[in-house]
A = this chain, B = another copy of it.
Amino acid sequence: MREFHLLSKVYERSAALDARVIVPPGDDMAMVRFDGADVLAAVDQIVQGRHFTLESTPLALIGRKAVTRNLSDIAAMAARPLASLAAVVLPRSWSEAQALELFEAMRTTAARYECPLVGGDISIADAPLMCSVTVLARLGPRGPILRSGAKVGDAVYVSGTLGGSVEPDGRGRHLTFEPRIDLALALAERFDLHAMIDISDGLGRDAGHIAQMSRVQIILDADRVPCSPACNWRRAMSDGEDYELCFTLAADARVPVELCGAAITRIGVVREQRGNQPCVIVREGRREIDATQLGWEHGGSGEGQPPSRPSPAEPGEGGRA
């Protein structure tokens, strides 16, 4: 059983959604119209043993990540944070001090990004620690930027550097990254963004989500992919949990090489779908590789125990909204 596949199946059945649902499930956030306003919403969860190891991760960073990975979805839509809600299952063995430390990290992180925690639920159970966070957002300067808007001829960009976000002991940048909300809003103010996604499953798979939903093909240049220290392009494209932005816009737009403190790198182009070719190809010299096969896909059935280091990517990302 694969999580992404499962969510796709669920959403297939949601075809006949209410007319108020302007952006249906399947993008980084859904959008609902009511009383003359548009609200965006997304939910995401982290589970002990899957997305973090309790042994090596301070509670403050677990609480932080539970919120920031949702804020990254707000960035991906070029939307503005509005409010957040958290449901937490606490292991029965926890002390009140531990619980408060976790919640305080969630609350202060949410507040810092102007996404105040307005609701919560706590259950104590014989279970691993689980935090699910829902974020609400309001429109940014240009309406929501969808995954489906990439146009043939677009240039493809990525922010920051990719790869190596999850270190062997479970720590790393995936716990401390800054969600790219300011960058996304600045980009949306200055440019006619066509499509955008945040990179959680790895650039290969996430560019694939743009390509599939836009019905185009994306060609990436391996030697242009901005790699984190000690990462080659292959790892940079597959590691996941980067929470950087990948976006497309007209090739003649004059995008700066840095904005809001983030490097911005042009890494490829959008072209028409061609026959049965994969939707994202990475070119390394004369070789062409199906880049969508490079991302993470964990959590299938029958694999037994959870990984000793957390799965760097939540395979459900692509199906979340």
Contacts and interface: CB of A to CB of B under 8 A. Distances in A.
A238 to B, nearest CB: 20
Nearest to A85: B43
Interface in A75-132: 82-83, 85-87, 89-90, 92, 94-96, 99-100, 103-104, 107, 111, 114, 116-128, 130, 132
Given A126-B305, A314-B123, A43 B134 contact: yes
Interface of A: 1, 3, 6-7, 9-11, 13-14, 17-18, 20-21, 24-25, 29-30, 32, 34-39, 41-45, 47, 49-51, 82-83, 85-87, 89-90, 92, 94-96, 99-100, 103-104, 107, 111, 114, 116-128, 130, 132, 134, 136, 138-139, 299-301, 305-306, 314, 316, 319-321
A4 to B, nearest CB: 8
Contacts of A114: 18
Contacts of A37: 34-37, 39
Given A20-B82, A34-B82, A36-B36, A130 B89 contact: yes
A161 to B, nearest CB: 27
A156 to B, nearest CB: 26
Given A120-B319, A124-B301, 16 more contacts: A3-B122, A9-B100, A10-B100, A13-B107, A18-B114, A20-B83, A34-B37, A39-B82, A41-B83, A43-B119, A43-B121, A121-B320, A123-B299, A123-B314, A125-B128, A126-B305
A39 B36 contact: no
Contact of A139 (B35, B85, B122): B35
A18 B86 CA distance: 17
> How would you classify the secondary structure of chain A's contact residues: helix, strand, loop or mixed?
mixed
Contact of A117 (B14, B20, B122): B14
Nearest to A302: B92
A47 B123 contact: yes
Contacts of A299: 123-125
B107 A30 contact: no
Nearest to A70: B121
Contacts of A51: 123
A49 B125 contact: yes
Contacts of A90: 1
A139 B13 CA distance: 28
A114 B104 CA distance: 34
Which 3 A/B pairs are nearest by Cβ-Cβ distance? A37-B37, A30-B118, A87-B132
